[in-house]
Structure 1
Amino acid sequence: MRYEKYKKKKKRKSTSILLIFLVLVGATAGYAFYQYKQGVNQSLEKMNNEKAGSNINNEEFTFEGKKDQYGATNILLLGSDARGEEKARADTIMIAHYNEKKGTYKLTSIMRDSYVSIPDHGKHKINSAFMRGGPELMRKTIKENFDIDLQYYAIVDFEGFVQLIDEAFPKGVEINVEKKMSAYVEVPLEPGLQRLNGEQMLSFVRFRHDAIGDFGRVQRQQQALQAISNQLSGIQTIPKLPKLIGVVTPYINTNMDTGDILFMAKDFFAKDRGNIDTFRIPIENGYEDANIKGEGAVLELDLEMNNEAFHQFLTK
């Protein structure tokens, strides 16, 4: 008799714990969705107020991506330099690497003037692959030249970068500006360690009018992403993720689900990684400067040397 009462009491207790757990899960999911929608609406309202929205989500692309031979997820990140209705080249080309089993996050930048074979189009600067065939042709071009598969793509409007910085860092991102940057940037920068808001960070990552040109710009882009990662990392960031993703969503065209983005971001911040290994194509001494008729100044790559170093970076 006592045993039966004990069993019933234990069953009621287990049921109560399960119900509490389900309520907590539901409340957490509801809060996350609310924050996400808050972020989306915030960006849409800003677009409407400025009477200048982003056209980046208006076009649908095919993308036949898959995981790479190492079991990792690679995301093609493209920053577009479109002006009005003209066809856009890729102003920024990066590959974000996420290996769930190893728990590693890496980032590769590909110089936009790299002179490569573009499937069915001959040899051209790699940034023109986007203009000729969207992210799918860029995926094929990277696969053909660098032997790596890409599972997802994300085309980013630079205004989304500005909004993300301002939302995540109300006091700005601390970063060292190594020189005065005033040529062809909307917000000039003075040298020194300082906190930059979204517009200032955009000037920092896009400036390239100095002696080292695009090489310096790629270096600053990786420096900026590392600083953002370091200053945003930690368990305290996780509650902010749904809104941050919502803020940037209207400025991104991607084949990734919001859940995929949230999962990868949560895994990164939950483990307080705060560090991303970076790589650049071409590597030092892995290219020659050349001038091609119809293309202008290009980087002639030693593909064998670059690929060997690239795959070593991916597998270490």
Structure 2
Amino acid sequence: MTKKTALILSALAPIVLILILMAPELNRPRLIEIKNNPAPAPVVMINQSQEGFFLDKDSISKTNFLILGAAGEGNDAPDLTDTILVVHFVPAEKKIYLFSLPRDLLVKIPGGTSFSKLNALYAINKNDLGREFDMIKQKVQAITGLTINHYIFVDLTAVKNLVDILGGINILVKKDILDTAFPGPNHTYQTFAIKAGWRYLDDATALKYIRSRHSAGGDFDRINRQQDVLQALKQKVLTLNFWNVSTLFKIYDTLASHIKTDLGWWQINDWWQEIKSIPGENIIKNEFNNTNFLESGEMVLGDETASILKPKAGLENYEEIRKYIKETIKN
């Protein structure tokens, strides 16, 4: 492998790890049912410290990753993390549990008395360099009862830029999409539509394809589409002419600008080796929404009335959610 190849593949490593964690061939999400009596970088901002740089294979135990995805620059709300996914990995059992948290969950801002949506916590804390992920990690831990060991943040502008650099991608659209409420410029809405079948996507269409939320499968449909696009990108990058230095460094630059993680390079590689062989049936998806532990409502946030979700058990009461997660990963 040439140095140029290694350089680009190392920059792709966080995306590849996300692909493995989120498993593109998985079954549809298991929606949680409640019964009558529920049982309740400058280089990609990679961690550069030597502490924990290598994965201690002899002490691997249950590990929790927080995967965050934001729309990125050029959008009305570039720093809102509209993808919030907790990945619970059990190495001894070769199992992964995915817990998708809704962006509209109303939460008390850690350390204060005000409220916001869960997806705003990173944006609120963004300028506290070195601690910008502390607030959302703290709240996600309170909601799930799980300790977050590592985070990976992806600005979806990286995906748009990569599609542009690579001249577009071909994607098998699994079902028709008609989203009449896709976010437009200046807080407007526009229609995004695409038919099922093989489709060529340019950069703008690819970004809409991975951001659209209005389908029967909700956030997990969107996550599956993101996985399909990332897989297409990975395959196209791996077939590049690695003597094309200009293209390679364009790819490297866009990845370096749009991914943040506290994992070191060797940790990413080691986790990749641990996770990549897990079969799809050993990956269990769970989604929290208004069909189970949450209920819909409205609240004035700032100077606007916003749609929100809150626990049916009461505001900031996550006991049922934590109990469900504990029983799920125990069984």
| 1:203 aligns with one of 185, 208, 220 | 208
Deviations 1:69-91 (A, max 9, x none): x9422221212245479883322
Alignment of 1:254 with 2:261, yes or no, is yes
Shift of 1:249: 4.8
Q: Work out the CA distance in 1 between the residues paired with 2:11 and 2:158.
A: 13
Match of 1:223 in 2: 224
Q: What's 1:143 paired with?
A: 141
Are residues 144 and 91 of structure 1, via their aligned partners in 2, closer, same or farther at CA, if it must alter by over 3 Å?
same
What does residue 194 of structure 1 align with? 198
Given that 1:287 and 1:299 are in contact with CA atoms closer than 8 Å, whether structure 2 keeps it comes out as yes
Alpha-carbon offset, residue 171 of structure 1: 6.0
Shift of 1:292: 1.6
Looking at structure 2, the residues matched to 227 and 135 of structure 1 have their Cα atoms a distance apart, in angstroms, of 27
CA deviation map 1:85-127 (0-9, x unaligned): 9883322211223222222233222111111233212332111
Mapping of 1:1-316 within 5 angstroms?
31=1, 34-39=4-9, 71-83=61-73, 88-122=79-113, 123-133=115-125, 134-162=132-160, 172-181=170-179, 184=182, 188-195=192-199, 197=201, 199=203, 200-208=205-213, 210=214, 216-224=217-225, 248-269=255-276, 271=277, 273-274=279-280, 276-282=283-289, 284-294=291-301, 296-302=306-312, 303-316=318-331
Paired with 2:82 and 2:108, the residues of 1 have a C-alpha distance of 18
Change (3 A) 1:300 1:192: same
- Partners of 2:308 and 2:77 in 1: CA distance: 22
Amino acid of the structure 1 residue aligned with 2:325: F
Distance 1:196 1:308, change over 3 A: farther
| Residues 1:91 and 1:100: Cα distance change in structure 2 (over 3 Å) | same
Number of equivalent positions? 257
Distance 1:88 1:179, change over 3 A: closer
Q: Is the 8 A contact 1:173 1:228 kept in 2?
A: yes
Measure how far apart 1:248 and its partner are. 4.2
Unaligned 5+ runs, structure 1: 1-30, 43-53
**Contact 2:46–2:265 (CA under 8 A) maintained in structure 1:** no
- How far the C-alpha of 1:262 sits from its partner, in A, is 1.9
User: Which protein has the bigger helix share?
Assistant: 1
Contact 2:206 2:229 in 1 (8 A): no
Structure 1 or 2, whichever has the larger Rg, is: 1
Deviations 1:178-217 (A, max 9, x none): 3234653799442213356474443223113x5x6xx854
SS at match of 2:87: strand
**Cα contact 1:181–1:190 (8 A) shared by 2:** no
Partner SS state of residue 312, structure 1: helix
Give the TM-score normalised by the residue count of structure 1: 0.63
Q: Which amino acid aligns with 2:307?
A: A
Q: Match of 1:222, as an amino acid?
A: I
Show CA shifts across 1:215-241 (max 9, x none): 8540312333565799999xx9xx99x
Verify the 8 A CA contact 1:175 1:227 in the aligned structure 2: no
